[in-house]
Amino acid sequence: MQSRAQAMQALFDIVGDQPVIICNGFPSREAQKIKDRDGNFYMIGSMGVAASIGLGLALAQPDRQVVVFDGDGNVLMGMGTLATVGALRPKNLTHVVFDNEVYGTTGNQPSYSRIVRLDQVAKAAGYATVERVWEREDIIYEFKHMLANDGPHFLLIKVNEQIEDADRVALDPADLTKRFRAAVGPG
């Protein structure tokens, strides 16, 4: 099984000009280390709402593909949003979940994703495409396919618990907002 950072690297190799909303905790820190870019929105708080932010952006700019990098703890906290996405069915949203089955940022306390199949929840909620993958080549194949086709898509990537040695998000949050808005533009 890969680490989240390895899987994230494979995804960033494919991401073009799509904005990426990244959930709080180590995922944002790892993304900053792997590929800092103006189109990355690093969350440092507000756990559970990465997909909600991505959904709002996708609705605001329906002609732009929006990507969310989420975690299993985050999805469990904001599970209602799977229903909102499934009901609204924005074609331009790709929801990636790195599922390590633990709350890794706070010391690897187990999450319920080892018992509850989040991909099946997303499928029941009405996402257009739902895939659960482990291997690098499958991650690449499915992510490319999702970016090229109408969504909403849900890509659950099973990863190990390894955490990358990555610094806290460097930019001031207000500066992140300015940088991201300048990159994404008013559509």
Partner 1 sequence: MAVIDSDDFVKALQDMGFDFFTGVPDTILGGIIEVLSDRRLYTPSVREDEAVAMAAGAFLGGKIPVVLMQNSGLGNAMNVLMSLHLIYRIPCLLIVSWRGFEGKDAPEHLVMGQTMPQLMDTIRIPHRTLAAETLVEDLRWTAQTFMDQRVPVALFLKKGVVKAIQP
Examine residue 106 and tell whether it contacts partner 1 (CB under 8 A). no
Examine residue 57 and tell whether it contacts partner 1 (CB under 8 A). yes
Cβ nearer to partner 1, comparing 56 with 126: 56
Q: Which has the closest alpha carbon to 187: 56, 45, 48?
A: 56
Cβ nearer to partner 1, comparing 41 with 98: 41
Cβ nearer to partner 1, comparing 55 with 155: 55
Q: Under 8 Å CB-to-CB from 136, ≥6 apart: which residues? A: 2, 6, 7, 10
- Between residue 161 and residue 180, which ones bind partner 1 under the rule CB under 8 A? 173-174, 176-177, 180
Query: 61 is written with which tokens?
Result: 């700019």
- Shortest spacing between CB 30 and partner 1, in angstroms: 20
- Shortest spacing between CB 137 and partner 1, in angstroms: 32
| Whether the Cβ atoms of residue 25 and residue 71 lie closer than 8 Å to each other | yes
- E strands, the chain, in order: 20-22, 40-42, 66-71, 93-99, 102-103, 109-110, 129-133, 153-158
Residue matched to tokens 């991505």: 54
Distance separating alpha carbons of residues 186 and 71, to the nearest angstrom: 28
Q: Identify the DSSP state of 168.
A: P
Examine residue 108 and tell whether it contacts partner 1 (CB under 8 A). no
Cβ nearer to partner 1, comparing 39 with 101: 39
In the complex, the residues that contact partner 1 under the rule CB under 8 A are: 19, 21, 41, 43-49, 52-61, 64, 78, 80-81, 83-84, 88, 173-174, 176-177, 180-181, 184-187
